Amino acid sequence: MSQELADTMLDDQPQKEKINLLGLSASRLSEFFEEIGEKKFRATQIIKWIHQEGECDFQKMTNLSKDLRNKLHEIAEIKLPEVVSCQESVDGTCKWLIRVDGGSCIEMVYIPERERGTLCVSSQIGCALDCSFCATGKQGFNRDLTSAEIIGQLWIAADSFDQFSPKAKRRVSNVVMMGMGEPLMNFDNVVDAMSIMLEDNAYGLSKRRVTLSTSGVVPELDKLGDVSDVSLAISLHAPNDELRNELVPINRKYPLATFIQSAKNYIEKMPDNRRKVTVEYTLMDQVNDRSIHARELAVLLKDLPCKINLIPFNPFAGSGYKTVTNTALNRFRDILMAEGYTVTVRTTRGDDIAAACGQLAGEVNDRTKRQERYKKKLNDIQPLNIME
């Protein structure tokens, strides 16, 4: 078929894509209403309908005029990712498999505790950073999630817990960006989605209860403090560059000293000076769990206001690592505590449904070409070619 004919056929069938309002932050929604010639306060009405009432049908938004409802129906939509399955563990942990456009699936986990309920949200399909002990990294990278797909995860959890009705029993009180993907490699969409989490007219979560976890994309972390003030977790896993280069390859590009300084700058930008960075350290048998590593870590972190979260490695098929023994875990914790650090140990939850940290794999389709493009994007942040 000639190109001309193909173009004509396309012209005959204009397929105007509707804009998905689900992922628009309050400020982007205001811009949207201004652009379509409506008053900006419509943004507040819509954001409340979507994220407080759980309403996705414009026709049911009774405080909008009929004309506006029809207009929105023509040009916009509120489109959620699709829930494929939801499993509940004996300990109350829930894991959802969620299909996004293109057919791939992501996983999301809810962890109930006595005083809080934490939702672990994904930011990408797969991950290109390829940490040696992470199931998500091992499956490669497919694509970034849109802001609608990220906030859509919180919407889905809220809906399954009947949270949109005032009598809800279970609630999501905390969100951690610790599911699949590296949130700082999907900066704009993650920042937009987190702003909806914090927005009073949406979920109204406190900035202390929303945590971004990163393995060290330093230039993006440097930018984050200008646009967000959520809590920060940094994934270290090693106390020196030699070992970290092996476990977390992005360390070759942004070594420990640079990463830790960037995290320090981030919390120093915050108006309240009581903030602490959470340091995540996944412990693997005979790899990074020796006394010498604990002592080295204590020195490394001496100038960073932080608390340390030790995570026993969660095994997955073919990882090649074993989890830490109880003896080594206790020894590691005691050394850090003796140095004055606050140390917590992450208990493994949802064992029976493979819902633990680093076990989220989802289903990734067609990743090869995208992975190449993505590695290029990563190298474009700073032209130093280590991600090969």
Q: Should residue 297 be labelled a site residue for ligand SAH when binding is judged by CB under 6 A?
A: no
**C-alpha span between 53 and 166 (Å, rounded):** 10
Q: Which does 357 bind (CB under 5 to 8 A by kind): ligand SAH, ligand SF4, none?
A: ligand SAH
Radius of gyration of the chain (CA): 22
The size of the interface with ligand SAH (CB under 6 A), counted in residues, is 15
| Contact between 130 and ligand SAH per CB under 6 A | no
Pick from 24, 43, 80, 134: which binds ligand SF4 (CB under 6 A)? 134
* Span 214-233, contacts to ligand SF4 by CB under 6 A: 215
For this structure, is 107 an active site residue? yes
The binder of ligand SF4 chosen from 105, 125, 129, 301 (CB under 6 A): 129
Distances (CA, A) of 275 to 204, 229, 278, 306, 308: 20, 10, 10, 8, 14
Please name the residue ranges forming H helices in the chain.
3-12, 26-35, 42-51, 66-75, 135-138, 147-160, 187-198, 218-227, 241-247, 256-269, 291-300, 326-338, 368-381
Span near ligand SAH by CB under 6 A; candidates 47-55, 138-146, 208-216, 271-279: 208-216
Residue 280 touches ligand SAH, criterion: CB under 6 A: yes
Q: Which two tokens stand for residue 11?
A: 């012209």
Q: Does 278 bind ligand SAH (CB under 6 A)?
A: no
- Sheet of 277-283: strands edge to edge? 82-88, 94-99, 105-112, 117-120, 174-177, 210-214, 231-235, 277-283, 306-312, 343-345
Select the residue interacting with ligand SF4 from 25, 30, 89, 136 (CB under 6 A). 136
Do 214 and 235 contact (CB within 8 A), yes or no? Answer: yes
Listed residue (220, 230, 216, 295) closest to 259, CA to CA: 216
Q: Within a 13 Å sphere around the CA of 1, how many CA atoms are in the beta-carbon half?
A: 8
Query: CA-to-CA distance for 331 and 314, rounded, in angstroms?
Result: 19
Does 215 sit near ligand SAH (CB under 6 A)? Answer: yes
Between 182 and 199, name the residue whose CB sits nearer to ligand SAH. Answer: 182
Nearer to ligand SF4 among residue 182 and residue 199 (C-beta): 182
Strands 277-283 and 306-312, sheet pairing: parallel
Q: Which of 107, 182, 199, 220 is catalytic?
A: 107
* Candidate segments 25-33, 73-81, 128-136, 302-310, binder of ligand SF4 by CB under 6 A: 128-136
Q: How far apart are CA 92 and CA 345, in angstroms?
A: 19
182 binds ligand SF4 (CB under 6 A): yes
The reply to whether 312 sits near ligand SF4 by the rule CB under 6 A is no
Give 23's strand partners.
none
Smallest separation, CB 214 to ligand SF4 (Å): 8
Smallest gap from Cβ 217 to ligand SF4, in A, equals 9
Residue 107 lies near ligand SF4 (rule: CB under 6 A): no
Q: Cite the active site residues.
A: 107, 357
Residues that bind ligand SAH (CB under 6 A): 133-134, 178, 182, 213-215, 235, 280, 282, 311, 313-314, 357-358
Binding site for ligand SF4 (CB under 6 A): 127, 129-131, 134, 136-137, 181-182, 215, 235
